[in-house]
Amino acid sequence: MKNWTFKKQTRKAAFAGQFYSGSQFELKNQLTKLFTNSKSIFYDNSNLQAIISPHAGYVFSGQVAASAFNQIPENKTYKRIFILASSHQYSFDGAAVYCNGNYETPLGEIKVDTKLSKKLVDESSIFYDKPEVHENEHSIEVQLPFLQQKLESDFLLVPIILGTNSAESCKNIAAILKPWFTPENLFVFSTDFSHYPDYKTAVNIDKKTADAICNNQPEKLQTVLIENKSSKIENLATSLCGWTSVLTLLYLTDKEDFQFSKIDYQNSGDSKCYGDKNRVVGYWAISIYNNDNRLQISKIEKDEILDKAQQSIKTYLKTGEKGKLIKSALTGILDENMGAFVTIYIEGELRGCIGGFAQEKTLNEMVQNMAVSAARDTRFKNVKLNELDKMKLEISVLSPLKKIKSANEIELGKHGIFIQQELNSGTYLPQVIEKTDWNVEQFLGHCARDKAGIGWDGWKTADIFTYEAVVFKK
């Protein structure tokens, strides 16, 4: 236990008037505009556990940062906000947590949880009390006004700056912070993405890096960063300046059920006033939800998926051909590789049901393709153009397949099943059970005989997979 001689020293706003407005009035107006134009993708029944937010000047990255912080639900309260950032000035094997006082911005003072800060320093050899590391570091400071604008209630701040370049140290830092990585606290990870390639290259390499992060495997991210570095991309100084902070995040979430979603992307070339497309810096907003083993899709994503399916069917019925793929307006789950089924009803009558499991296609692609296939499902009377106003759509978005060892693992109403034996396969969606009084063995028997064509008892020697589905209608 260290003998603390505490002298309060508020960490002043060192970058107000440079990275963002130094005037309280102007800053509030600036933040209001950024939040108004930001993206919102909320997930029902989920806990927002962490966000990844950029830390450049607001004129460059403010819009993306606002999208990150806008994932915080209205009226949400957190006990603590942990902000992890990688030092731009200092190199040391560990992390510096602020122990000497509070943080200040033009919007006021934010109380630092100095008690916890001291506890981290006292009880570990990898956390340090180094106030000088915080003095001229912008990557935490620029996050704070967004929190002050978004959160109405008071919270305790735990500002942590990583000085390490060691993956093993990141793993150790994550292990120490793990007890606080809970729903009552929010973790913010501060990082920009690629530095100084041209605009088009930045878009491509930043997506590759973001995809690796969303894969939620620390080793995968490290591999991609090495690949990026060895690719000899012109002017590329780094593809993730806060890689140690993000790697710490992945050690916190690795092997657990967290949902990563890409929310918003821009780079400095998108800045209307100062955008130079020859040398840019990339910015992603990414949200991390503790989804408690549930596949989560926000209302805004559901609405877009249904609209895409409806438009695809309408185009096909009018032209007799598939329309061009409509790009996703969002950067979340629609850009992930997901399985989906599209079911069509006309005045309550089933007129088509086609789908597939996740392979190489994004959910956006799957829904548009499956919608057209469902409209011409040969097992039913095809949908006609004059029936469009009577059409009701049901979309089932599928979680990844999970191979099971025993039928006892199946929960009726929760799990869909996929049975495969050599080239024969068949599936029943979870909602099929709502229209029957089957038990588990009947569920499997009907699927094996009626869908896979391997006989009533064929499931007993076949591979069985379960999956879950988020089902929504229009």
* pLDDT per 10-residue tile (average), the chain, 474 residues: 66 95 96 91 71 97 96 88 97 96 96 95 95 96 97 91 97 95 94 97 96 94 96 94 98 88 94 86 94 68 92 94 83 79 94 86 91 94 92 92 91 93 94 91 97 96 93 88
Q: What is residue 330's predicted lDDT score, i.e. its pLDDT?
A: 61
- Residue 344: helix, strand or coil by DSSP? strand
Closest CA to 210 of 321, 285, 291, 126: 285
Q: Which pLDDT does position 6 carry in this prediction?
A: 58
CA distance 379 to 398: 23
99 in helix, strand or coil? coil
pLDDT at residue 434, rounded to an integer? 87
pLDDT the model gives residue 326? 87
Q: Which CATH superfamily is domain 299-397 in?
A: Hypothetical protein ph0010; domain 1 (3.30.700.20)
pLDDT of residue 331: 58
CATH class as words, domain 24-290: alpha beta
What angle (nearest 5°) sits at the alpha carbon of residue 24, between those of residues 18 and 25? Answer: 115
**φ, ψ (nearest 5 deg) of residue 50:** -160, 160
**Do 285 and 54 touch, CB atoms closer than 8 A?**
yes
Q: What is residue 378's three-state secondary structure? A: coil
Q: Are the beta carbons of 199 and 280 closer than 8 angstroms?
A: yes
The architecture of the domain spanning 402-473 is 2-Layer Sandwich (3.30)
Q: Where are the domains of the chain?
A: 24-290, 299-397, 402-473
Q: Tokens 């930043």, residue?
A: 206
Contact (CB, 8 A) for 56 and 38: no
Residue 209 CA neighbour count, 13 Å, CB half: 31
371: which 2 tokens? Answer: 């919608």
The pLDDT of residue 293: 47
Q: Which of 167, 21, 174, 17 has its CA nearest to residue 93? A: 167
- Cβ(291)–Cβ(259) below 8 Å: yes
